[in-house]
Amino acid sequence: MCDIAGMDQGHPDAIRPLFLQLNSLLALEAHFQPHLALAKDRNEITQGVRDGSAHVLRCLKVWYDLPSDVLFVAINLMDRFLTCVLPKHMACISVSAFHMAARVVANRRENGERFLIPDACDLVSISQCRCTLGDMTRMEGIIAGKLSEEIPVTALDFLCLFHRMLALAGPMTFPCVQLEILACDAACVNFRPSEVALALLCWQLDRLNTRQDPSPGVDMVRLLSTAVELQKLCKISDAGFLRCHEVVASVLTLYDAQRQMPHRQRLVWKLSQRTLRYLRPTDKLSSLLPTIDEQGQLSLPMRIRSGSLSSEESTDSEKEDPLSEWGPYGRADWARNAMHVLPEESNILNNRFYNALVD
């Protein structure tokens, strides 16, 4: 048994409740641990499909400005459901798990900490999951039947707890974004949440230790000794921790390299011909203009004015029928139709929330 007070000699009263909380998390960790085995066949759910769905959930979390635990609960539900069955409708599963996670997490919070649950209809449209509201509702019922609506223990819970313990030894930044990236990668799914959280903090300590100008007030010896004690408390073997640390370092190194690359994705709006007619009522306008005779040397045909109108007559005509250029719609109706995209065009918001991520 590890010496609890030895983890931090100066704060024995502060470390004991954290230790009790750690014991309760470790007792539930195995119950919510997914054991995901993804196939390499393109006809089934592959690692790339799973990771793509997880990143979509991360985009939705940023789009709706939801807390991070909603994302981790949703990914845990998705991975555990994929462990139980081998379905084909990955997009519907992921979005249903996301909506279910938002609802469960919001209901478990106090009144002052609650957040707005995303509207189901809006979520189906924004996510482009190619399923209906009824499909998502039925899938939520299937997930709840296979699993439960109990909030699972995730790597975020261990990261918050470990960070509070290490903060007693020295100030550290909270690597929540990096943990989200790890949760979206299938290579980290089958590791214990405590392993992933501790490996992430140790990866952060390694980077902090290699810096030429370490932050003031950071005692690396105390931080590293505390991390070693946490590994013993969680009963993480050295071999398992090294494997997890290598995977974490590989995923985050690739993520840091991709962050340095310029973003070249362009915003593309996909509109049907019907919507274009509302937005640009210029089908009957000619794109060919007559040549302007600046020098008076061109033999242009004489303009026949018998069928034309003078400027005054044209003005009077516009006064008589001010809505003629708007076709069968009035000005207000046309403007409303131009601003309100047709229902089948609701998918044009695709790139908007994909570009909403801010590291």
Question: What domain range includes position 205?
Answer: 153-278
Q: 3-class DSSP state for residue 230?
A: helix
Last residue of a domain, one of 151, 180, 201: 151
* Residue 174's CATH number: 1.10.472
Amino acid 282: pLDDT = 56
DSSP letter string over 146-212?
HS-SSPPP-HHHHHHHHHHHHHTTS-----HHHHHHHHTSGGGTTS-HHHHHHHHHHHHHHHHHH-S
| Rounded-to-integer distance, Cα 335 and Cα 333, Å | 5
> 145 and 205: one domain?
no
> 157 and 181: one domain?
yes
| Rounded-to-integer distance, Cα 132 and Cα 134, Å | 5
> Do you know the residue count of the chain?
359
> 145 and 184: one domain?
no
> 69 and 100: one domain?
yes
Per-residue pLDDT of the chain (359 residues; tens, 9 = 90+): 444 444 545 555 677 888 889 999 999 999 999 988 876 666 677 888 889 999 999 999 999 999 999 999 999 999 999 887 656 688 899 999 999 999 999 988 876 677 889 999 999 988 888 889 999 999 999 999 989 888 999 999 999 999 998 888 777 889 999 999 999 999 999 999 999 999 999 999 888 877 655 565 567 788 888 899 999 999 999 999 999 999 999 999 999 888 766 655 555 666 777 777 666 655 555 556 667 766 666 565 555 444 444 444 444 444 444 434 334 444 444 344 444 444 444 444 444 444 444 44
> 256 and 158: one domain?
yes
CA dist list (Å): 54 to 45, 76, 102, 164, 175 = 13, 10, 15, 27, 18
CA dist list (Å): 290 to 285, 287, 301, 314 = 14, 10, 11, 21
Say if 94 falls within a structural domain.
yes
| Rounded-to-integer distance, Cα 352 and Cα 127, Å | 11
> 158 and 142: one domain?
no
Last residue of a domain, one of 278, 305, 338: 278
| Rounded-to-integer distance, Cα 160 and Cα 201, Å | 11
Nearest to 358 by CA among 199, 173, 176: 176
Amino acid 330: pLDDT = 46
> 92 and 166: one domain?
no
Last residue of a domain, one of 255, 278, 301: 278
Amino acid 300: pLDDT = 55
Say if 83 falls within a structural domain.
yes
Say if 159 falls within a structural domain.
yes
Say if 289 falls within a structural domain.
no
What number of other Cβ atoms are within 10 A of residue 6's Cβ? 12
Say if 120 falls within a structural domain.
yes
Residue 284 is classified by DSSP as: T
311: tokens are 């400027």
* Residue 72's CATH number: 1.10.472.10
> 133 and 162: one domain?
no
> 143 and 233: one domain?
no
Say if 61 falls within a structural domain.
yes
Q: 3-class DSSP state for residue 330?
A: coil
| Rounded-to-integer distance, Cα 19 and Cα 288, Å | 80
| Rounded-to-integer distance, Cα 271 and Cα 44, Å | 32
Its pTM stands at: 0.69
> Are residues 98 and 75 in contact, defined by beta-carbon separation less than 8 angstroms?
no
- The residue type of 132 is T
| Rounded-to-integer distance, Cα 142 and Cα 85, Å | 11
Domain tally, the chain: 2
